[in-house]
Amino acid sequence: MDDYALVLNAGSSSLKFCVYCRPGEDAWRLEARGQIDGIGTAPRLSAKDEAGGSLADEKLDASVKDGRAALDVLTAWLRARYGGARVLGVGHRVVHGGAQYTGPCVVTPKVLDDLRALIPLAPLHQPYNLAAIEALSARLPDVPQVACFDTSFHRGQPAVAELVPLPKAIRDTGVQRYGFHGLSYEYIASVLPEVAPDVADGRVIAAHLGSGASLCALKGGRAWTARSASPRSTDSAWHPAGVGGPGSSSTSSRPWGAPPPRWKRCSTSSRGCSGSRASATTCATCSTARTRRPASR
């Protein structure tokens, strides 16, 4: 009997998947890849084989309104196509592993608890990644599941690359630059020696462009520094209210599934908070000390 492995990338509106097969003692090869997109609006299942031939392209019922329903559809499709196959493991893309998880790991209840505590640091992605793990655990309780983190590739950067210009008391809670899209950059670094051998070992800037975008400076195939951006992060006058890092009480005590932290705009100008006198004052909105310079005379 051939061995199979499943890889999932679960998001808020799509569920991407790959199926890998290992016939006998041969090497692993891609068997199928596809996605269920439009979850909650116009769900559709599409899949192709290794050569790019279509395996499925069908509109799904409107009842596929969330990730769990999409996973039910995918499970039924896989069973119909690979019924009786021996699944050795399931790999998951997980956006945030914090400072603790520096590489892929087998998911345990302790690991899940740790990853739930990081939801406030990636509220648009982390809940959906973890929901897929939990759903698969219920369906395949004896099959190991492995979490692969977007942040892992960026661990080991120089300390200055991870530093954020915030007070030490905040940084001590775990707030830092973690870097994202690391699985994408790890792949780029792995194929650079083949497609661009002359520059692969040097300094390379790689870009991940999509609804979320980032840049990563590579040096010798390793992450040297990274910067990311999203529509929410383009306004520097927005400040997090009550958000710490993974070790802070505001993060670790937040129940899984709770709404993400609220963001508040400081009061007096579009450029952020300012005090009301020439001396140092405290902004009532963000509780941050600011100094307003006297007007020129």
Confirm whether 57 is a catalytic residue.
no
Q: What is the pLDDT of residue 121?
A: 87
Cα diameter, the chain: 85
Topology, domain 3-149: Nucleotidyltransferase; domain 5 (3.30.420)
Query: Of 3, 72, 150, 235, which is the active-site residue?
Result: 150
Tokens (6 digits) for 226: 């990274």
Task: List pLDDT tens digits, range 231-283.
Answer: 544 332 222 322 333 333 233 333 333 344 443 444 433 344 433 333 333 34
Cα(8)–Cα(15) distance, rounded to whole angstroms?
A: 7
Q: Is the pLDDT of residue 200 over 50?
A: yes
Q: Give mean pLDDT, residues 32-61.
A: 95
CA 239 to chain centre: 21
Between residues 129 and 238, which one has the greater pLDDT? 129
Count of C-beta atoms within a 10 Å radius of residue 158: 9
Would you say residue 2 has pLDDT above 80?
yes
Asked if residue 74 has pLDDT above 80, the reply is yes
Q: Regarding predicted confidence, which is higher, 255 or 58? A: 58
Question: Is the per-residue pLDDT at 293 higher than 90?
Answer: no
**Mean pLDDT (whole number) for 49-68:** 94
pLDDT of residue 1: 73
Q: 237: which 2 tokens?
A: 């006058």
Contacts by 110-118 with C-beta closer than 8 Å and gap 24+?
A: 111/147, 114/246, 115/147, 116/256, 117/246, 117/251, 117/252, 117/254, 118/246, 118/251
pLDDT over 70 at 7, yes or no: yes
Percent of the chain exceeding pLDDT 90 equals 59
**Predicted confidence (pLDDT) at residue 147 exceeds the cutoff of 80:** yes
Segments in the chain forming alpha helices (H):
67-82, 109-116, 126-139, 159-162, 168-171, 182-195, 249-252
Q: Count of alpha carbons within 13 Å of 269, Cβ hemisphere only?
A: 7
3-state helix, strand, coil in the chain (%, to 5): 25, 30, 45
Q: What is the DSSP letter of 73?
A: H
CB atoms within 10 A of CB 5: 18
Mean pLDDT of 149-165: 88
Give residue 252's pLDDT. 34
- CA 111 to each of CA 95, 114, 134: distance values in angstroms, whole numbers, following the listed order: 14, 5, 12
> pTM of the prediction?
0.74
